[in-house]
Amino acid sequence: MKKIALLLSFVLFVSLVFAGIVPVKTAKNVALNKNHELKGTFQTVSDDVVIVYENSDPVYYVFNLADNSGYIIVSAEDVTNPVLGYSYSNSFNSNNLPVQLNELLNGYKEQIVGTRINKSSQSSEIRSMWIKYGQAPKLFS
């Protein structure tokens, strides 16, 4: 019995430490929680999420705030920082991005794809951020 428990613990540990694609629901929780932490109030995000793919795998998600007052960009890879960026100026329109933002997002995409190719592992600091922001929306103190 101890061997089974030890084996299950090891499998759980390995699954937490190595890269994994973040489901859209978890990414939405990250956006909601980070927005609440920054603004101090709960604000919903649009259900119409922008998903950027590499092959068939999501690379990052963009959640517009429900009132179109901004957006939050969340990584779809759990070995990277959960929040890649945000703005409280405009909503996100992938057809009308400034050149600089487009270059930044392409750089993020390359880095995220690189973590997958290299089978990068998740640091304890990054894991803590995903645990903090990835849970169901809550109040931050």
Residue 12 lies inside a defined structural domain of this protein: no
pLDDT one-digit tens code per residue, 13-50 = 444 444 699 999 999 999 999 999 999 888 899 988 99
Give the pLDDT band of residue 51 (cuts 50, 70, 90).
very high
Q: pTM for the complete prediction?
A: 0.83
Q: How many domains does the chain have?
A: 1
pLDDT one-digit tens code per residue, 84-108 = 999 999 999 999 999 999 999 999 9
Residue 4 lies inside a defined structural domain of this protein: no
Q: What is the pLDDT of residue 140?
A: 57
Pair type for strands 50-54 and 57-64:
antiparallel
Round to whole Å and give the CA distance between 67 and 44: 8
What does residue 107 show for φ and ψ, rounded to 5 degrees? -65, -45
Residue 13 lies inside a defined structural domain of this protein: no
**Residue-range definition of the domain harbouring residue 55:** 19-134
Structure tokens at 3: 């061997």
